[in-house]
Structures are given as C-alpha cells and as structure tokens.
C-alpha cells in the first residue's frame, strides 16, 4: 500500500460532511475533494440519497468510478469466501425459522399452503405480524432518511419531527437517536441532545458520534469537565481526529478560565472578610476609649470661694487703739496665708464616692486675714485655684483606682 492510499484513507475521516449538500456537489469540480466527500458519506451511512447523487457526479468526471458506485468491482477470493459463509448462515437461519413456522400452523389451515414448498400454510396471525413488522421497519427507515435530508437543508425542527416519527415505529435504532441529538444540538436544545446521545450509547456502547454530540452539548452548557471526558473517550479510538482535538482544546481553555475566575472570586471574598473582621476589631477596641472619654466629660467639681470682707473685719474691732496690733497680725499672716479646703458632703455611711446627680458640691476657703490690696487678692485666688486643681487630681486618681479594682474583681 503506497503513501497516497494511506493519506487518502486518513483524510477521509477528517472530511467535514456538514458542508456537503446538493448545491455543493453541483458546484464542485475538484475530483479529489469529491472523492473524499464520497468516502466520508459512505462511512457515515446516514445520507444514501446524497451519496448516490455524489457518486453520479463523480462518474461524470471519472467514469471508472462507476465500478465502485454500482458494485461492478472485482471481488477477491477472501471476500468471496466471506460472502459464501454469510449466505450459508443466512440459509441455516431461514431453515430454522421455517421449521418454527411449520410447528405453529394448525393442521387444518391450508389457506396459505403454497407459501411452503411442502405445502404447509402460514397462519394469518403470523403473516400479519411479519408484514406489520416489515412495514414498520421500512416506514421508520424512510422517516429517518427524510430527517437526514432536513438536516442537510438546515430545517432542524422538521428533522426532529421526522426522527421522532421514525423512533415511534422503531425505537431501538441508535443511529436515529444520534441524528436527533445532532438536530437538537443545532437548535441549541442541549439537554434533549444529551438525553438522545445517552440513549444511543445505551443501545450501541462506544458509539463515537453519540459521544461527540453529547460532548459538544455539555460544553455548550459549561459542563466542561464532562465534555472533556467525552472528547477523550473518542480520542482513545481516533487519536488523529482533528475536529475532536479542537473541541477538546476549547473545552480545556474554558475550564481553565472558569477555575481562574473561581480563584479570584474566592480571594476577593477572603479579602473582604478580613477587612470586615479588622473593622469589627477596631470598633471593639474603640468602644472602651469612647466610654472613658464620655466619663471624663462627666467629671466636674463646682467650687465656691467665700472671703471675709473688710467691713466685717472693721466691724469686729471698733477700737482704734487695736489697729496697730491687727496690722502686725495681718503682716505676719500675709507671709504665710492659711487656706483650708473643705470637701463636699458625703453620705452618712461615708461609702458613696461617685458624683451625686443634681448635688451641689462646694469648697469654702476661709482667709484668716483681711485682703485689702489687689495683689493680695490675686495671690490668694491663685493659691485657691492650685488647691482646687490638686483636690480634683486627687479625686480623679482615687476614682480610677477604684474602677481598676472593680474591673479586676
């Protein structure tokens, strides 16, 4: 076998039969391409009328091709022996069926005695069943072929209707299911295409075209993993099938894009969750600080300062002779003023230390000497302010110590 024959045999499997129709046959003049198309249609076996038309077209360009189209080729001795063996098997089966029919015929029924060479008639029921089965088979085949022609004409809904009629007459034909799956695929009814492909594979395991059509339907539904399995199943028996390899590569590309998109989505979700957790943590940490600030705003001390006026001092000592002694005492006292801080009134038990609502707290600072000059009054006021600040700080320190003690308990 030369290289040309090998190349031709490999190429016939790769020819796209979907582009073959009656108009293409009439317009194509390239003999080699027509022959490749004939090989593909002959192997497919679904379009006998189209195959016949294509054969006649090739004969007009190559008359020698008529031997192949019309069966005038020489048969080898090996092929003749195989045909004889098949004929012998056929006759043996026919004889067995003949014997079964004889046993089923009543002895007194001679209406159809001429059908057998020995004069035994066939019962009406048996004859009717055989005739009905044959007619159904022929009608189913006719409807299937009509569906094939509709597919070639791209009338897919009509094709589905024809295939459905064919299956109603002969529901065990895997090729019809596979063809209807192709029509559904063209109509983008992918679920029904998958159902018919599954039925075809159940009737004919390993059916390549059913795997291919199911894989294409699954890919269209974004079921890329299952589609890849179907395409890989085909390549186990046809590793050089370019169309299936192309579909497999496309399915793998789409699957990778889908997985990358899922990874990005999950990463974005994880990032959003992390930000939410961080924000929640900050809110929890900020809550005590806000409470402390609010508590600080509520802490205040109201202070009232009362001083002895000059008139009161004058009223207490009306004797002018006592003035020098009072002046001496005032000079001595001005060097070291005596200022007393009087804290706010607490409860009877003395256990209440927090600020009371609507309770006026006062601190009375009593001067032991009369303040006459502006400078003395300012110095006295500064000292009073210092003592009040010190008292407030002491109070806050005690308050915070008690808060910490309560928190630890």
| The predicted structure's pLDDT at residue 95 | 76
From the list 237, 231, 201, the residue with the least C-alpha distance to 217 is: 231
* Mean local confidence (pLDDT), 250-265: 88
Greater model confidence, 79 or 224: 224
CA–CA distance, 44 with 179 (Å, rounded to integer): 11
154 to each of 133, 146, 157, 187, 216, how far by Cα in Å?
Answer: 31, 12, 9, 10, 18
Calculate the average pLDDT of the chain: 74
Spans of all domains in the chain: 7-69, 120-255, 302-307+336-341+358-409
Look at 151-155, 244-248, 391-395, 404-408 and tell me which has the smallest mean pLDDT. Answer: 404-408
Q: Could you read off the pLDDT of 141-199 as tens digits, one per residue?
A: 999 999 999 998 999 999 999 999 999 999 899 999 999 999 999 999 999 999 999 99
CA–CA distance, 104 with 297 (Å, rounded to integer): 114
| The predicted structure's pLDDT at residue 279 | 79
45 to each of 57, 239, 343, how far by Cα in Å?
Answer: 18, 22, 114
Q: Could you read off the pLDDT of 339-381 as tens digits, one per residue?
A: 444 444 444 444 444 444 444 455 555 555 565 678 888 888 8
Dmax over Cα atoms in the chain, in whole Å? 180
Q: What percent of the chain has pLDDT over 90?
A: 24
Q: Could you read off the pLDDT of 68-109 as tens digits, one per residue?
A: 887 644 555 665 666 667 667 777 777 777 777 766 655 555
* Mean local confidence (pLDDT), 402-409: 82
Residue whose pair of structure tokens reads 């019309």 in the numeric block: 70
CA–CA distance, 42 with 383 (Å, rounded to integer): 120
Query: What is the CATH architecture of 120-255?
Result: Alpha Horseshoe (1.25)
| The predicted structure's pLDDT at residue 339 | 45
Q: Could you read off the pLDDT of 270-312 as tens digits, one per residue?
A: 888 888 887 777 777 776 666 666 666 555 444 444 444 444 4
Q: Is the pLDDT of residue 263 over 80?
A: yes
From the list 207, 150, 151, the residue with the least C-alpha distance to 175 is: 207
Confidence of residue 205 (pLDDT cuts 50, 70, 90): very high
Q: Could you read off the pLDDT of 374-388 as tens digits, one per residue?
A: 888 888 888 888 888
b/e string for 142-153 if b means 16 or more Cβ within 10 A?
ebbbbbbbbbbe
């Amino acid at each position: 076998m030369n290289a040309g024959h090998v190349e031709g045999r490999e190429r016939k499997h790769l020819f796209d039969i979907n582009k073959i129709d009656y108009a293409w046959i009439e317009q194509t003049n390239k003999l080699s391409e027509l022959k490749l198309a004939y090989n593909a249609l002959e192997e497919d076996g679904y379009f006998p009328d189209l195959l016949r038309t294509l054969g006649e077209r090739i004969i007009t360009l190559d008359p020698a091709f008529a031997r192949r189209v019309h069966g005038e080729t020489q048969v080898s001795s090996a092929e003749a022996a195989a045909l004889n063996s098949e004929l012998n098997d056929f006759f043996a089966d026919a004889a067995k069926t003949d014997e079964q029919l004889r046993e089923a015929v009543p002895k007194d029924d001679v209406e159809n005695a001429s059908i057998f060479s020995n004069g035994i008639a066939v019962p009406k029921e048996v004859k009717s069943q055989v005739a009905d089965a044959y007619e159904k088979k022929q009608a189913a085949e006719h409807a299937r072929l009509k569906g094939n022609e509709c597919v070639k004409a791209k009338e897919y809904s009509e094709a589905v209707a024809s295939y459905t009629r064919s299956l109603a007459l002969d529901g065990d034909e895997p090729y019809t299911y596979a063809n209807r799956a192709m029509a559904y695929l063209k109509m983008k009814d992918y679920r029904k295409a998958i159902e018919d492909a599954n039925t075809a594979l159940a009737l004919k395991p390993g059916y390549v075209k059913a795997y291919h059509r199911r894989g294409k339907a699954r890919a269209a539904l974004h079921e890329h993993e299952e589609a890849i399995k179907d395409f890989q199943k085909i390549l186990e028996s046809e590793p050089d099938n370019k169309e299936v390899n192309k579909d497999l590569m496309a399915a793998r590309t789409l699957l990778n894009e889908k997985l990358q998109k899922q990874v990005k989505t999950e990463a974005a979700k994880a990032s959003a969750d992390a930000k939410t957790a961080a924000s929640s943590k900050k809110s929890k940490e900020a809550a005590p600080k806000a409470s402390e600030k609010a508590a600080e705003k509520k802490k205040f001390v109201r202070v009232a300062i009362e001083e002895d006026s000059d008139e009161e001092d004058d009223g207490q000592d009306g004797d002018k002779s006592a003035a020098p002694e009072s002046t001496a005492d005032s000079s001595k006292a001005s060097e070291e003023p005596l200022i007393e801080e009087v804290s706010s009134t607490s409860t009877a038990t003395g256990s209440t230390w927090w600020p009371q609502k609507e309770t006026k707290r006062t601190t009375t600072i009593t001067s032991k000497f009369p303040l006459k000059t502006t400078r003395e009054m300012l110095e006295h006021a500064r000292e009073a302010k210092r003592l009040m600040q010190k008292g407030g700080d002491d109070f806050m320190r005690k308050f915070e110590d008690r808060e910490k003690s309560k928190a630890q308990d």
